[in-house]
Amino acid sequence: DIQLTQSPSSLSASVGDRVTITCRASQSISVYLNWYQQKPGNAPKLLIYAAYSLQSGVPSRFSGRGSGTDFTLTISSLQPEDFATYYCQQSYSAPMYTFGQGTKLEIK
């Protein structure tokens, strides 16, 4: 099974900060890595697919990078609505899929 490890597990930041979340795969997954945002009480929402492609309607302050085993999600300038939990998900081992454990982004 392919394991995804996110770091940090939680993060405190301020509005306007630049924030980076990392997702590391237990083996190479090429660019088969997707990112989601989940706000309390809501379903997750797709932000980035195939490592760096921005989903339609997602603000351009979100960006994804990486390939192989190491990936990052960066928010260039935090907005109040960005405080949420973020998950990475791999599709390299399709039709089996796994998620990272999540990174909770909180207001400092």
Q: Which of 28, 50, 77, 107 binds another protein (CB under 8 A)?
A: 50
Contacts of 102 (CB under 8 A, 6+ apart): 6, 9, 38, 85, 86, 87
Contact call for residues 74 and 62 (beta carbons, < 8 A): yes
Q: Least CB distance from residue 26 to another protein, whole Å?
A: 16
Q: Which two tokens stand for residue 6?
A: 């996110």
Q: Least CB distance from residue 49 to another protein, whole Å?
A: 4
What residues pair up with 72 in beta bridges, in sequence order? 22, 65
Euclidean distance between CA atoms 37 and 99, whole angstroms: 12
- CB nearer to another protein: pick between 16 and 40: 40
The footprint of another protein on this chain (CB under 8 A) covers a number of residues equal to: 25
Q: Least CB distance from residue 13 to another protein, whole Å?
A: 21
Contacts of 8 (CB under 8 A, 6+ apart): 21, 103
Q: Least CB distance from residue 44 to another protein, whole Å?
A: 6
Site for another protein, residues 7 to 36, rule: CB under 8 A: 32, 34, 36
Site residues, another protein (CB under 8 A): 32, 34, 36, 42-46, 49-50, 55, 87, 89-92, 94-102
